Structure 1
Amino acid sequence: MSGRDVVYLSPIPWRGLYQRPQHTARALTASRRVLFVEPRTLHAPAPPPDEERLAFLTLSVLPVNARRPFVRALARVGGRIALVRDGLARRHVTLLRRRIAALGLNAPVLLFGHPELASLREGFPGLPVIYDHMDDILEFGHGGGELRRRLRGLVAAADVLSASASGLRAQLVEMGGRDPLLVGNGVELEHFARREPPPPCPPALAALSSPRALYVGSVAEWFDVELLHAVARARPSVSFAVVGPVRPALERAVAEAPANCRYLGAQPYAELPGWLHHADVALIPFRRTRLTAGVDPVKLYEYLAAELPVVATSFSPELQAAAAEGALRLANDPAAFAAALDASLATPPDG
């Protein structure tokens, strides 16, 4: 597969939070052309214009994770109706064939980041298939048996399998996957590394008094809002800043944040170094669940690249291994988390 162009069927839009899919696609463009196929959802931003080696295609998907419950319910019902599901799949194949032909991609590799579009491979027989297992998708609570069937079919059909964490690799093995690769997450080091002069401090962060504790990422079901708020109440002299989108299900809990804890919304990836370089400690307050047990968080590497001390809950083997090497501090209850925060503000983990 060396040097072949790639069609990357991404689980997230390009202009969503910058994560493993965008990093993977961007890295691949160093040696080949990439067609980044993103899902069109109700609130997804439009894709950017094509670049020399990076092109885009948006495919409509059933909004099984929509914000409104009735939309989610309709999408799930539609997904169970073969006429709807198969008609959408045929439309996807037609659109993808046209885009591949227009770009002149010759026998590209199909790289799947999610099994939702797995039926597309049937429209392109003979093309190599890679599946990158980056989340425990069955724990997200939507898709049900149909998603499980697609996942197992994709694992069985893939020529190459990879996983972002050890627990996810074990899942692939349990599903009969052949020799899955463990490809952990990383960081765009030059983007986040300390430099002089430092990037400007964002006004919303500058408005908060020091010391500043920062979280960057989604506020979703895996984010422990109660833990963060308890720690903030226990440390009123520390300003807590949360940078990232808030899922609707957590908006009520977020509204009850103490005065020294601010939710500042999603920020562009290009501006994240300014946030990190003007914080004093970084946080990953995740719940410990089956979903997070399979997470190797990109944000950990971004925090460390910015030379920030990190406090997190011990939700995955990857975090535990990093803590054993002195890269961060782990704590799972408010008192221990606050104590780890104090220690991190006083001295770095390896100091």
Structure 2
Amino acid sequence: MDLVVTSLEVWDGVWRRNQHLVAGLLRRDPSLKVLFVEPASDPLHAALGEGEPRLGRGLRPAPAVDGVSPDALWLFEPTKWLPRRVDRRIDEKWARQVLKSARSLDMTDPLLWVNDPRGALILEATSWPALYDVTDDWTLADRPAPEIQRIKAQEAVLLRRCDAVVVCSPALALSKGADRPVTLVPNGVDTAAYAVSHERPADLPGGPVAVYVGTLHDDRLDLELCADTARALAGVGHLVLAGPDALSAGQRSGLVDAGVVLLGSRPSDAVPAYLQHADALVVPHVVTPFTDSLDPIKLYEYQAAGRPVVATPVAGFRDADDEQVTVVDRTAFPAAVTTLLHRSEAPDASHATPAPGRRLANIDWARRVDQLAEVLASLSGRDER
């Protein structure tokens, strides 16, 4: 079986949902071949902003993945030469590039797995069986009106024409399943990575630390709350944010000036060490319709790490049945984190990291791979549209 995945994220050392699921599927089925389509490189946008302009890396074999044949996984990163407002056919050109790459790999009738809504254009151009995997409700994000309109139009095509729709959260199941059947496949965690104790990372500040691991973006992070929390921790400990940095220069400098420690992106296999050695794990997220659509991967990672958690009342955490998770509103958040760090300095404070228990077995990525494999199997035998 061949599979074309249009992803909203690159394939790199920071593994997210798509990478865990794709790698798991490849390990299950040695005959599977995957074309993983990454977001396009945008050299003009980079040149006008803070990035380093570069061309897309095109079609290439993926870096080695344990248990996966070297010729089973291919990556394709196109180049976006112009903004949509200048070239209104940019998405059609993207779709043609994806189809050309699939043909070059001798993929004649693959399954299409759409995570990036632009995959609607591939769906319309082919008769491929298709799955829409909804991980974020971008129709609710704070974006310019033309972008929201584009996403809504593409999603309407996907919800109407895809053979199956998978969602990662109960909120998405309600919204996307209003007019058609959907399958809930939540996010997960590599529980084996947390079953062993890791050494304290050398770049963690000394003393008590409150740690957040995830993409730094104001779609999710409450930047003002992060700054307030860092100031509240002055003299007690540090607020540490680790993850891919999508902040503006002004946002970044505001956090640093408040005392936040920014570590930058860390590979997924290093994340358990940061979480295990946190005195508190924190989720200083904004509460919006967009964040309410999410199923945060960090919920599962934090639970596997077994450390105390303080979160704003965001989806996933506010409904967690876990005595380690404290949910507070943003006004009480800095004090709750400060209390945990003070408590960690007590002479009888325990810093032992519990091994994952039986309750975590159902949230391992292996279980999610099983669930998705069932959906894909149902598509591979479907009747032609």
TM over 0.5: yes
* TM-score range relative to shorter protein: 0.7 to 0.9
1:331 touches 1:340 (CA, 8 Å); kept in 2? no
Residue of structure 2 aligned with 1:55, choices 47, 50, 73: 73
Aligned-pair distance for 1:325?
Answer: 4.1
List aligned pairs for 1:254-333, cutoff 5 A: 254-256=252-254, 257-258=256-257, 260-316=259-315, 318-322=316-320, 324-333=321-330
Residue of structure 2 aligned with 1:231, choices 223, 229, 232: 229
How many residue pairs end up in the alignment?
319
Matching residue of 2:38: 38
Aligned-pair distance for 1:21?
Answer: 1.0
SS state of the match for residue 215, structure 1?
A: strand
List aligned pairs for 1:1-351, cutoff 5 A: 4-15=1-12, 17-32=14-29, 33=32, 34-42=34-42, 48-49=62-63, 51-52=68-69, 54-60=72-78, 62=80, 75-78=83-86, 81-82=88-89, 84-99=90-105, 101=106, 107-125=109-127, 127-140=128-141, 141=143, 143-174=147-178, 176=179, 178-193=180-195, 195=196, 198-205=197-204, 208-221=205-218, 222-236=220-234, 237-249=236-248, 251-256=249-254, 257-258=256-257, 260-316=259-315, 318-322=316-320, 324-339=321-336, 341-343=338-340, 346=343
Q: Which has the higher contact order (CA 8 A, sep 6+)?
A: 2
1:5 and 1:258, CA in 2 relative to 1: closer, same or farther beyond 3 A? same
2:286 touches 2:312 (CA, 8 Å); kept in 1? yes
Cα offsets for 1:36-72 (capped at 9, x unmatched): 2222323699573365174123142648xxxxxxxxx
Cα offsets for 1:222-270 (capped at 9, x unmatched): 2112112212212221221111132243x32331335642111111112
**RMSD of Structure 2 on Structure 1 (CA):** 2.7
Cα offsets for 1:192-216 (capped at 9, x unmatched): 23x2xx32322211xx122111011
Aligned-pair distance for 1:86?
Answer: 2.9
- Which residue identity lines up with residue 129 of structure 1 in the other structure? A
Alpha-carbon distance in 2 for matches of 1:312, 1:35: 37
Alpha-carbon distance in 2 for matches of 1:88, 1:297: 29
Alpha-carbon distance in 1 for matches of 2:342, 2:238: 12
1:311 touches 1:337 (CA, 8 Å); kept in 2? no
Cα offsets for 1:158-198 (capped at 9, x unmatched): 11111111111222124x3x2101111110111123x2xx3
1:130 touches 1:161 (CA, 8 Å); kept in 2? yes
1:235 and 1:87, CA in 2 relative to 1: closer, same or farther beyond 3 A? closer
2:211 touches 2:242 (CA, 8 Å); kept in 1? yes
Alpha-carbon distance in 2 for matches of 1:186, 1:31: 17
1:342 and 1:326, CA in 2 relative to 1: closer, same or farther beyond 3 A? same
Aligned-pair distance for 1:31?
Answer: 2.2
Matching residue of 1:68: none
- Which residue identity lines up with residue 271 of structure 1 in the other structure? A
Which ranges of structure 1 fall in alignment gaps of 5 or more residues? Answer: 64-73
- Which residue identity lines up with residue 177 of structure 2 in the other structure? V
Aligned-pair distance for 1:124?
Answer: 3.0
Cα offsets for 1:256-309 (capped at 9, x unmatched): 335642111111112112222222211111111111011111012111111111
- Which residue identity lines up with residue 215 of structure 2 in the other structure? S
TM-score by length of 2: 0.75
- Which residue identity lines up with residue 49 of structure 1 in the other structure? P
Alpha-carbon distance in 1 for matches of 2:313, 2:100: 45
1:309 touches 1:344 (CA, 8 Å); kept in 2? no
Dislocated runs of 4+, deviation >6 Å: none
Which ranges of structure 2 fall in alignment gaps of 5 or more residues? Answer: 43-50, 344-348, 355-385
SS state of the match for residue 90, structure 1?
A: helix
